Amino acid sequence: MNSTTPTNIEVDNKQQLLEITWEDGHKSEYPLYGLRKNCPCVACRGGHAKMNEFEPEAFLIENPPLMDIKGIKPIGNHAIQITWLDGHNAGMYRWETLRMLDPQEKS
């Protein structure tokens, strides 16, 4: 069993969550604000030198600004591309990165 292979992905804009069920049975719930704040694209990270620097505390903010996901598409078998309501879609969210950022894994 692989802990970084998703079996199901659901977006709930009303609840402001992206839910991923992983092959090992674990279920991750990502607040949308935290995902948007941790967009892995070069522009959002602040340059190539900061590509692996993330802000996991962004998932813990109470009453964050609302974010909506317009669409999600797979990138090969290793990532997803999220299109946000504002049109931004440059980030490639790798499975390993999403599992590392899982708020439930931190608690």
CA 96, CA 11: separation in Å to the nearest integer?
A: 19
Domain layout of the chain by residue ranges: 6-106
pLDDT band at 107 (very low <50, low <70, confident <90, very high): low
Structure confidence by residue, pLDDT tens digits, 23-59: 999 999 999 999 999 999 999 999 999 988 999 999 9
Residue 56 tokens, joined = 């996991």
Neighbours of 87 (CB within 10 A): 7
**Contacts of 107 by beta carbon, 8 Å cutoff, 6+ apart:** none
Top CATH class of 6-106 equals alpha beta
Entry pTM: 0.92
Question: Which pLDDT value is given to residue 106?
Answer: 64
CA 80, CA 107: separation in Å to the nearest integer?
A: 25
pLDDT band at 65 (very low <50, low <70, confident <90, very high): very high
Q: Which of 57, 53, 56 is nearest to 40 (CA)?
A: 53
